[in-house]
Amino acid sequence: MQRFAIGIEFCGMQYRGWQTQQAGVVSLQETIEQVLSKIANEPIMLHGAGRTDAGVHATNMVAHFDTHALRPLRGWLMGANSQLPKDISIQWIKEMDHSFHARFKAKARRYRYVVYNNPMRPALLHKQVTHVYQPLNFAKMIQAAQKFEGTHNFESFRAAACQSNQPVRHVSHCRLIQHGCYLVLDIQADGFLHHMVRNIMGCLLEIGQGMYEVDHIDHIFAAEDRSAAGITAPPDGLYFIHADYPAEFELPQMPLGPHWLNMPE
């Protein structure tokens, strides 16, 4: 039995999220498993570094699978990409020791959320960025984003359907990068709750639009109640960009995404 790690890039527009769901609901996990199972000529089960919501994208989602099938690495890679839909691509594959696990060995996960702030909506980036036409106070949003760094109880920032048994997470960095009309939230944590990044972005957008001051974030944390926070930002602008693993696994280092996502810091 061999174990392989893969890095997956996908546009989540047509999928109901990463995780396999009930029959008739198209998920990324199931779509990729079906293709790999054909190549292996046996059932394949994928384990991902994280779970993404419907409509969320990824530039390097790490996953692993076990198989008895003997295929060259190029056979797995080229065979899968020739059969996968055009909005999913496996970027790399690596044979791993059985001590590797895409979910449980990840030390941190990193997301970027891209806002396009312009009176006119974008066409080429439809469903790939979140369009905000109102003027935004970038300085206040940048200041507010820093309040999410450190260890906090994120009860107010998770969805009601969140299944995690505890809401405390450590955010190693949370910063906003402004470049022309683009505003990119870059956040890394030891784990994320359901809708956590989208709810954080929603609060930052409300502050940017002048609805609240920066210290409103403190009140939301203190409430430990989802109703105290603001809107849930759309999934369109959200990207899973990186999972951090111990250096011993020597996973490939990939670009964080296209130029409009890979902003200078």
Residue whose structure tokens are 């990729």: 32
What's the pLDDT tens digit per position in 54-109?
A: 899 999 999 999 999 999 999 999 999 999 999 999 999 999 999 999 999 999 99
Contacts 24+ apart (CB under 8 A), 23-29: 28/52, 28/88
Distance in angstroms (rounded) separating the CA atoms of residues 136 and 134: 6
| pTM confidence score | 0.92
Distance in angstroms (rounded) separating the CA atoms of residues 63 and 4: 8
**pLDDT exceeds 80 at position 257:** no
Mean pLDDT of the residues in the chain: 92
Q: Is the dihedral of CA 92, 98, 100, 101 positive or negative?
A: positive
What is the rounded average pLDDT of the residues 210-217?
95
> For the CA atoms of the chain, what is the radius of gyration?
19
Which residue, among 207, 235, 217, has the nearest Cα to 153 in the 3D structure? Answer: 217
| Residues with catalytic function | 53
- Hey, what domains does the chain have and what are their CATH numbers? 2-105 (3.30.70.580), 108-240 (3.30.70.660)
Q: What is the pLDDT of residue 144?
A: 96
